[in-house]
Amino acid sequence: MKRLFLFLAISMFLFQSCEKDPISQNPEGLTAPQLPPTSMFSLPESTLENAEAGKTEFDTKWNFLHAGLNYLGWTAIVVTNMAVPVKAFGMAFNEEAEFVGDNTFEWKYNYNDTSPGGANYAVSLTGQYINNAQEVEWKLTVDRQGAYSNFVWYSGIVATDLSYGAFTLNQKPNNPETLIAISYDKDLSTQDVSLRFTNAISGDAGNGNYVEYRTEVNEYFNRSFDVQLGEDDLLEIQYNDPSGNGHVRHPKHFNNSEWHCWDNEQIDVDC
């Protein structure tokens, strides 16, 4: 009987020694934070994108085209620089996170950019709970074989309820500096959102200029864009989705503070 007891005791000890201690692996019993939607850092599709195709119709669509082409000119910077990082981040939705300690989870995977001149990236996305788990600090780091490693492409802090977030996008892997600052706010009761992209390049002539997108679901003009083109040069655009009619206000261009309107065929009309 004593031998049997001793055998059982040793067996239990060996079994427990081989098991991973769940407390040491995840002392707080945390679950992986919810990945922020890519809509937090990418501009939505807009009726203003039709402006490029309508440039030959300035005589009848002047107001719409003035609004749309100025908008597209600024947002080209955002789209060009955000496209690949957003796609790289989006891959995380297909992966499982691993707890790596210090209230942090990590998603690790490879992303192959198939666009012209694209490259393969080894991606590490981390989400660390901070501020008593009210917020998550996100960091997307990439390695590109033969070029650079541990480049923090972008980082930010997001509320765990996804009601707000702030990110910075970096450029120049060998000498990182901030390119674009992004801020996001969402009213959880109305679902209205605001999303702003600001030029954050140090010493750039356009530093501080921005484009901001907003929704106001209870207003007739339920979509709007503000485009800061320069000092004392604000372009305001409002339109209805889905009809597409709207108006623009741009004092520096029109030499007045009035709204200038277009109908649902984008033709100039009186306001």
CA dist 32 and 127 (Å) reads 8
pLDDT of 247 = 98
Q: List the one residue out of 34, 139, 164, 127 whose CA is nearest residue 88.
A: 139
Of all helices (H) and strands (E), which one includes residue 8? helix 2-18
Alpha-carbon distance values, 58 to 54, 65, 167, 263, 269 (Å): 8, 7, 37, 14, 13
Q: What is the pLDDT of residues 153-189, one digit of tens each?
A: 999 999 999 999 999 999 888 778 899 999 999 999 9
Q: List the one residue out of 218, 235, 251 whose CA is nearest residue 74.
A: 235
Q: Where are the domains of the chain?
A: 72-241
At 14, is the pLDDT very low, low, confident or very high (cuts 50, 70, 90)? very low
Unique residue bearing structure tokens 């009035």: 258
Dihedral sign (CA 115, 90, 140, 181): positive
pLDDT of 78 = 85
At 229, is the pLDDT very low, low, confident or very high (cuts 50, 70, 90)? very high
Mean pLDDT, the chain, rounded, equals: 87
Lowest mean pLDDT among 24-38, 148-162, 215-229: 24-38
pTM, to two decimals: 0.85
CA dist 242 and 249 (Å) reads 21
Q: Check pLDDT > 90 for residue 145.
A: no
Give me Rg for the CA atoms of the chain: 25
At 26, is the pLDDT very low, low, confident or very high (cuts 50, 70, 90)? low
Q: What is the pLDDT of residues 120-129, one digit of tens each?
A: 999 999 999 9
In angstroms, the first-to-last Cα distance of the chain is: 98
pLDDT of 42 = 87
